[in-house]
A and B are shown apart, each in its own frame.
Chain A
């Protein structure tokens, strides 16, 4: 299941973090922010795809910590979407679909005229969509 979802801006400013387990937010937020180094590395290496050599927004596994795996995705606008999963059996295609849905929700959220770009994203609607996406994979919401 998905235990944490984070959005990090183009200049690595944290925009959004939501966790779906009990009292582990500090550990998970550290994990998310540590994995940003891996994102930088992959972006610098030309964002080569997981299976092919074609550049791919989906970065695959960034870090493994105990039972958790951190997955990353970079949009064309250099916003990073990070998802922490504690399910060892998840497939790349499933992760891709999750990121695609998250990206759609994010694009809708930043189109809100009252949202100032680059500031933390406080949106009940985005919260709700992230929750829906996370629960669709069996998170305890």
Chain B
């Protein structure tokens, strides 16, 4: 993306937070998921088109996933994926040990003078699940745009580490 057109990282953080918050106040359950999925997939497709523009052709599945791990992740989440594992049969696990969008959620130590109770652990897991819908959909959209149909799920059991599991379906017709 052009160096001349940048915006503060905090703006993107707030936008991602507010987007989830906005839909959470209106929808619950599957419809919330569907709404965020649609937004994320659309954005992911557009971002992939842009990020992959000046790149040599990505013909192999592994190359596409590596592109997601390095360039795409760097562009969207401001750092590369820390660890990539695969079973060589279409399942990939992308581990980000410091997932930027959820770093604040993991810092549950409130300053003492505020005297507010800590969020309950169960509520936090639910919250994380909602906030991970958007990144999952982004990754799915980007892969779809590159020609790979995949299911993406995220596991935030030990924040701020997040594991994204990508399961490839058969290839979309080119």
A and B: real partners?
A: yes
Residues of A within 8 A of B (CB): 10-11, 43, 46-47, 54-57, 74-78, 100, 103-104, 106-107, 110-111, 117
Contact of B126 with A by CB under 8 A:
no
Interface residues of B (CB under 8 A from A): 42, 45-46, 48-50, 52-59, 145-147, 172-174
Which residues does chain A contribute within 8 Å of B173, judged by CB atoms?
Answer: 10-11
List, sorted by A's number, 9 A–B pairs whose CB atoms are closer than 8 Å: A10-B174, A54-B56, A56-B56, A56-B57, A77-B49, A77-B146, A77-B147, A103-B53, A110-B46
The reply to whether B174 and A43 form a contact with Cβ atoms under 8 Å apart is yes
Asked whether A78 lies within 8 Å of B49 as measured between CB atoms, the reply is no
Q: How many A-B residue pairs have CB under 8 A?
A: 52
Q: Are B46 and A10 in contact (CB under 8 A)?
A: no
Is the beta-carbon distance between A111 and B46 smaller than 8 angstroms? yes
A10 to B172, Cβ gap below 8 A?
yes
Q: How far is the CB of B11 from chain A (nearest CB, A)?
A: 17
CA distance A68 to B59 in the complex (A): 30
Determine the residue in chain A with the shortest Cβ distance to B50: A107
Q: Could you tell me the distance between the alpha carbons of A10 and B146 in the complex, rounded to whole angstroms?
A: 9
